[in-house]
């Protein structure tokens, strides 16, 4: 118990720095793919510190409260992951963080914020069922939702769950708000002023949501690491390849509509998952 608590605290302390570094590398690699030099790798940290230094000017108190609760939810989800808690508990905490971010956006009258919040809800409707199905597949294979049990497996889960890993990749693309699913809060230049669900968040509140997003990135990559938990080197290679493919897809894809996301991405993810679940059931 004490060892797990130690890992949980250390993981939570390191996660924001790791998430910010990943965001910086993401920007740098994206710029290189577009034949640009790109910002410094530490630019996300500079941006957050600049936002923290701005005078708070939130539209209402509810917006401020929701930004705090969204950050706390993401931080708690990361802590529970490194604590090796139950996957379902982590999922519900992660969902609470996203819900509070949407509730804050819905508390203002800005049409951009309202539309962004509604699109964020649609994204949640698309990726959350896929994550739940992946967790069910993991439990079917390992006999438990506990991360501690999953890390104790003798063989990588990827061997018997390749389609479920692809499904998690689809959910990861939506959760990271990358093309072709960057419909609620794109990070690209043409939406820097109006960023959908983030439009009315300013100064410290926007900084907290940026840090919360970094934590979400670390959490999602942590979930990907469960598919190769038998080797640290294999895990690192898997995560590097996975995130590079996410950046590649982001740069070669155009933004699609939310209807396409629900009809195609959700449907294809469910089909892949069901096929893999039937395979796992047949192997038992």
Cβ 66 vs Cβ 208: under 8 Å: no
* Contact by Cβ (8 Å): 145, 135: yes
**Residues in a beta bridge with 159:** none
Domain count, the chain: 1
CA angle 248/253/254 to nearest 5° reads: 150
Q: Which structural domain, as residue segments, surrounds residue 160?
A: 2-283
pLDDT confidence of residue 251: 84
The confidence score (pLDDT) of residue 261 equals: 81
DSSP letters along 61-75, please?
HHHHHHHHHHHHHHH
Q: How many CB atoms lie within 10 A of CB 258?
A: 17
Q: How does residue 4 score in pLDDT terms, banded at 50, 70 and 90?
A: confident
pLDDT value at 284 more than 70? no
Question: Mean pLDDT throughout 92-107?
Answer: 89
| Whether pLDDT at 58 is above 80 | no
Secondary structure (3-state) at 193 = coil
How far is the C-alpha of 238 from the C-alpha of 243, rounded, in Å?
Answer: 9
The per-residue pLDDT of the chain, averaged, comes to 87
Who's near 51: CB < 8 A, 6+ residues apart? 202, 203, 204, 206, 207, 210
- Collapsing DSSP to helix, strand or coil, 7 comes out as helix
Query: Confidence class of residue 122 from pLDDT cuts 50, 70 and 90?
Result: confident
Could you give the CA distance from residue 171 to residue 86 in angstroms, rounded to a whole number?
A: 19
Q: How far apart are CA 15 and CA 52, in angstroms?
A: 19
Task: State the Cα–Cα distance between residues 281 and 203, nearest whole angstrom.
Answer: 50
186-244 confidence digits (pLDDT tens): 655 444 446 677 878 888 998 999 999 999 999 999 999 999 988 889 899 999 999 99
- Is the bond preceding residue 182 a cis peptide, omega within 30 degrees? no
Q: Which residues have a Cβ under 8 Å from the Cβ of 61 and sit 6 or more positions away?
A: none
Give the separation between CA 179 and CA 111, rounded to whole angstroms: 23
User: Of 28-32, 51-55, 188-192, 202-206, where does mean pLDDT reach its minimum?
Assistant: 188-192
Q: Give the integer Cα–Cα distance in Å for 235 and 229.
A: 6
pLDDT in tens, 148-202: 899 888 889 999 899 999 999 988 888 888 878 777 666 554 444 466 778 788 8
- Token duo for residue 51: 């936002």
pLDDT classification of 87: cutoffs 50, 70, 90: very high
Burial letters 55-71, b for 16+ CB under 10 A, else e: eeebbeeebbbbbebbb
| pLDDT score recorded for residue 179 | 78
């Amino acid at each position: 118990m004490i060892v797990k608590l130690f890992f949980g605290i250390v993981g939570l302390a390191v996660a924001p720095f790791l998430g910010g570094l990943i965001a910086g590398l993401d920007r740098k690699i994206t710029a290189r793919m577009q034949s640009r030099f790109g910002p410094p790798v530490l630019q996300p940290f500079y941006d957050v510190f600049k936002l923290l230094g701005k005078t708070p000017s939130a539209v209402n108190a509810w917006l401020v409260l929701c930004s705090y609760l969204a950050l706390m939810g993401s931080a708690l989800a990361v802590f529970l992951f490194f604590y090796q808690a139950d996957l379902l508990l982590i999922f519900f905490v992660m969902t609470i963080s996203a819900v509070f971010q949407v509730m804050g956006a819905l508390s203002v009258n800005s049409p951009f914020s309202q539309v962004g919040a509604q699109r964020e809800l649609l994204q949640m409707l698309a990726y959350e069922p896929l994550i739940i199905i992946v967790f069910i597949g993991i439990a079917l294979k390992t006999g438990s939702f506990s991360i501690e049990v999953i890390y104790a497996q003798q063989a990588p889960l990827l061997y018997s769950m390749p389609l479920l890993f692809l499904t998690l990749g689809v959910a990861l693309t939506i959760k990271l708000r990358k093309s072709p699913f960057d419909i609620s809060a794109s990070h690209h230049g043409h939406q820097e002023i109006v960023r959908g669900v983030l439009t009315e968040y300013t100064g410290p509140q926007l900084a907290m949501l940026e840090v919360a997003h970094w934590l979400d990135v670390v959490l999602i990559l942590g979930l990907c690491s469960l598919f190769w938990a038998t080797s640290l080197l294999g895990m690192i290679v898997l995560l590097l390849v996975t995130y590079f493919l996410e950046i590649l897809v982001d740069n070669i894809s155009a933004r699609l509509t939310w209807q396409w996301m629900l009809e195609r991405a959700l449907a294809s993810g469910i089909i892949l998952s069901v096929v893999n679940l039937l395979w796992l059931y047949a192997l038992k």
